Amino acid sequence: MKDRKVTHYVKPEAPPQTRLTRLESGLTEKQEAFCRNFVFGFMTQTEAAEKAGYQDAAVVASRFMNGRDNPKIVERIRELEKDLAKQHEVTYESHITQLARIRDLAIEQKALGPAVAAEKQRGMAAGLYITRSEILVGRIDQMSRDEVLEEIKRLQEQYPALKQAMLPVKEIELVPDGKTDVFVLEESDRKTDSLDAD
């Protein structure tokens, strides 16, 4: 049977004691367990208290987290959160190394598409590729007719192939009665058609 792909998020393991031991932090073993469950277990405060072994978990968790009753617990949670953030910190070196590892794993699995994508991301992180984008301000429906024609003329000058691919320009004029449009297909070939024809 083929090994199944693991596509779910794997929780980080709690690192060994950080900076302070339990005695130095002034917390009991249960309080330390609460802090670690809350930070590394991605649990609610009540779930963290239950897993640490407290009977009335909701009340205990609320007292732990309010900052008045047990400031050392809040301080310890902040410290563990900083350690967790540092553990998952993204630096240039760690990013490039991780992308290389992903590329190598993809090559081992004979998945060349993901390998190429990982290598391209490494190149982008190293500055080997330049991403160019233009942000256009305004929309054509906000432009006047003259502005649109001027923009078309500019684009045709910038890209001569566009001018060759264009169909003849059609102009629409309003007849004095205000109800019938006249289409002028070309300068030399004037033909009128009524849009309101029955």
Task: Give the model's confidence band at 23: pLDDT under 50 very low, under 70 low, under 90 confident, else very high.
Answer: low
Mean pLDDT highest for which of 11-20, 46-55, 95-104, 179-188? Answer: 46-55
Residue 5 has pLDDT above 90, yes or no: no
**How far apart, in whole angstroms, are the C-alpha atoms of residue 73 and residue 71?**
5
Tell me what pLDDT residue 189 has.
44
Task: Give the model's confidence band at 8: pLDDT under 50 very low, under 70 low, under 90 confident, else very high.
Answer: very low
Between the CA of residue 43 and those of 11, 40, 61, 195, what are the distances in Å? 11, 8, 12, 69
> What residue spans define the domains of the chain?
22-87, 92-126, 143-184
Phi, psi of 181 (to 5 degrees): -100, 150
Determine what percent of the chain is predicted with pLDDT higher than 70: 67
Read off the pLDDT of each residue in 85-100 and give the average, rounded to a whole number: 81
**How far apart, in whole angstroms, are the C-alpha atoms of residue 151 and residue 153?**
5
Residues 6+ apart with CB under 8 A from 53: 30, 33
Global pTM reads 0.43
pLDDT per position as a tens digit, 136-172: 666 777 778 888 888 888 888 887 777 666 665 555 5
pLDDT per position as a tens digit, 36-74: 999 988 889 999 999 999 999 999 999 999 888 889 999
Q: How many Cα atoms within 13 Å fall on the side-chain side of residue 18?
A: 18
Tell me what pLDDT residue 170 has.
57
Residues 6+ apart with CB under 8 A from 58: 46, 49
Structure tokens at 141: 């429906």
CA Rg value for the chain? 34
Beta bridge partners of residue 174, listed in sequence order: 181
Please check whether residue 107 is in contact with residue 115, taking contact to mean a CB–CB distance below 8 angstroms. Answer: yes
Phi, psi of 149 (to 5 degrees): -65, -40
Task: Give the model's confidence band at 94: pLDDT under 50 very low, under 70 low, under 90 confident, else very high.
Answer: confident
